[in-house]
Amino acid sequence: MTPSRIRRLSLTHFRNYQTATLSAQSDMVVLVGPNGAGKTNCLEAISFLSPGRGLRRARLEDIADNQGDGSWAVSAEVEGALGLATLGTGIDAPLGDASGTSRRCRIDRETVNSATAFGDHLRMVWLTPAMDGLFLGAAAERRRFFDRLVLAIDSEHSGRVSALERSLRSRNRLLEVRNYDDHWCDAIERETAELAVAVAASRGQTAAKLAAMLRERGAASAFPSAEIMLDGWMENALLQEPATAVEDRYREILRTSRPRDAAAGRTLDGPHLTDLQVVYAPKNMPAREASTGEQKALLIGLVLAHATMVAEMTGIVPLLLLDEVVAHLDPGRRRALFDELAKLGAQVWMTGADPAAFVDIGPNGEVFDIEAGRATRRA
């Protein structure tokens, strides 16, 4: 299997980094420093070397520092599935209306259509403090979390999800017209059903394989296992029925529900409403009822199992970004986490305020002090 590794990371006008370069030589890269120093900003920069809006889901025009012209750039020399390559992304200085801002992506200084192409070189998985409330929050947050898991396996998934959302918006706008055209509705719903089935199929397959991986890990991990399932009729139907049959059924649902959806102002059935259900296996209870510590450990176990699954399915060991993950772990759990990460063989970028929390990372680790947008390797 091929690990995804960043050997050199360069930031220009990114958040609080006017310009910075960080060369990583190890598989365990730790960024330590006070709150607000720029540790998470560094992980966010790396996350832009994958499809999507980064780990904060920020607007592109909000990322540039205050000292420049509104442009920003991230570049990394990576060692990945296709060997050595330089990946770069960012935006040019806005011209008037920032709403027209578009992100540029390059591989070895050649322009590519989108960040989807980065998936040929490296895969990425992350865990941030914002995910701590995942099991208690809205279904949309869990759905977005799971779509990121799918994306690490299928780099085209985010494009299909975005296309489905656009198609649903087009249908909703059409239904706002008092005497909407049935032929136009038929055409939009045909496209919507095709996209919905494609999105649901990727989710359903990933959920089934991840559930099997979690069962296989069982008690072998220091982190609790979980039982997962998708609460969406289409994802589950596709595991048993032909895609064409499910697509026909959904198209009929859309056709017959036009009056109801027109009154609601939105489409009330489909994979855009799917939820992820998680059970805390050791106690056989919904994850939302587990303690805060149990939920954190459960999330870590999920991410570790998913990273293992990505490696087995794609042959690419994903890069892991773990933001403030060890802060609330006891020393035993910290050591267990470092051991599991070492066994995975992934390059891992971690952040924390307390250097003492990382004393057990071993000889394969290196620590950088982050302060006011500067990174300095510790001796």
Q: What CATH number should be reported for the domain holding residue 362?
A: 3.40.50.300
Task: For residue 127, tell me if it sits in a domain.
Answer: no
How much is the average pLDDT of 168-173? 96
Task: For residue 13, tell me if it sits in a domain.
Answer: yes
Element (H, E) at 375: strand 374-377
User: Does 34 share its domain with 80?
Assistant: yes
Beta strands in 152-284 (DSSP E): 226-231, 275-280
141 in Cβ contact with 276 (< 8 Å): no
User: Does 347 share its domain with 232?
Assistant: no
How much is the average pLDDT of 356-376? 91
What CA–CA distance (Å, rounded) separates 40 from 43?
5
Percent share of the chain, pLDDT over 90: 87
User: Does 146 share its domain with 259?
Assistant: yes
Looking at residue 178, its pLDDT comes to: 82
Task: For residue 18, tell me if it sits in a domain.
Answer: yes
How many C-alpha atoms does 364 have within 13 Å on its Cβ side?
A: 12
Looking at residue 211, its pLDDT comes to: 95
What CA–CA distance (Å, rounded) separates 195 from 188?
11
Which sign does the torsion angle of CA 293, 298, 304, 307 carry? negative
- Expressed as residue numbers, the domain containing 366 is 1-122+318-379
User: Does 194 share its domain with 276?
Assistant: yes
User: Does 100 share its domain with 138?
Assistant: no
Lowest mean per-residue pLDDT among 43-47, 186-190, 308-312, 328-332: 328-332
Q: Which of 263, 281, 315 is the last residue of a domain?
A: 315
Task: For residue 200, tell me if it sits in a domain.
Answer: yes
Sorting pLDDT into bands at 50, 70 and 90, what band is 80?
very high
Of the candidates 9, 270, 281, 299, the one whose C-alpha atom is nearest the C-alpha of residue 132 is 299
User: Does 2 share its domain with 104?
Assistant: yes
pLDDT of residue 371 exceeding 80, the answer is yes
What length does the chain have?
379
User: Does 140 share its domain with 270?
Assistant: yes
Task: For residue 141, tell me if it sits in a domain.
Answer: yes
Give buried/exposed letters for 192-205 (b at 16+ CB in 10 A, else e).
bbbbbbbbbbbbbb
Task: For residue 39, tell me if it sits in a domain.
Answer: yes
- And the tokens for 261? 């959806």
User: Does 310 share its domain with 327?
Assistant: no
Which sign does the torsion angle of CA 264, 265, 269, 274 carry? negative
Task: For residue 129, tell me if it sits in a domain.
Answer: no
Ramachandran class of 85: left when φ > 0, alpha when ψ lies in -120 to 50, beta otherwise: beta
User: Does 222 share its domain with 303?
Assistant: yes
| Number of domains composing the chain | 2
| 5-48 pLDDT, tens digit each | 999 999 999 999 999 999 999 999 999 999 999 999 999 999 99
DSSP string, 42-93: HHHHHHTTSSSSTTTT--GGGSB-TTSSS-EEEEEEEEETTEEEEEEEEEPP
| 191-249 pLDDT, tens digit each | 999 999 999 999 999 999 999 999 988 777 889 989 999 999 999 999 999 999 999 99
140 in Cβ contact with 127 (< 8 Å): no
User: Does 190 share its domain with 299?
Assistant: yes
User: Does 248 share its domain with 352?
Assistant: no
Looking at residue 356, its pLDDT comes to: 92
Of the candidates 259, 254, 258, the one whose C-alpha atom is nearest the C-alpha of residue 269 is 254
- And the tokens for 266? 């939105």
Percent share of the chain, pLDDT over 70: 99
What CA–CA distance (Å, rounded) separates 370 from 37?
6
User: Does 303 share its domain with 362?
Assistant: no
Q: Which of 267, 297, 315 is the last residue of a domain?
A: 315
What CA–CA distance (Å, rounded) separates 290 from 113?
43
Q: What CATH number should be reported for the domain holding residue 298?
A: 1.20.1050.90
Task: For residue 128, tell me if it sits in a domain.
Answer: no
Q: Which of 291, 315, 339 is the last residue of a domain?
A: 315
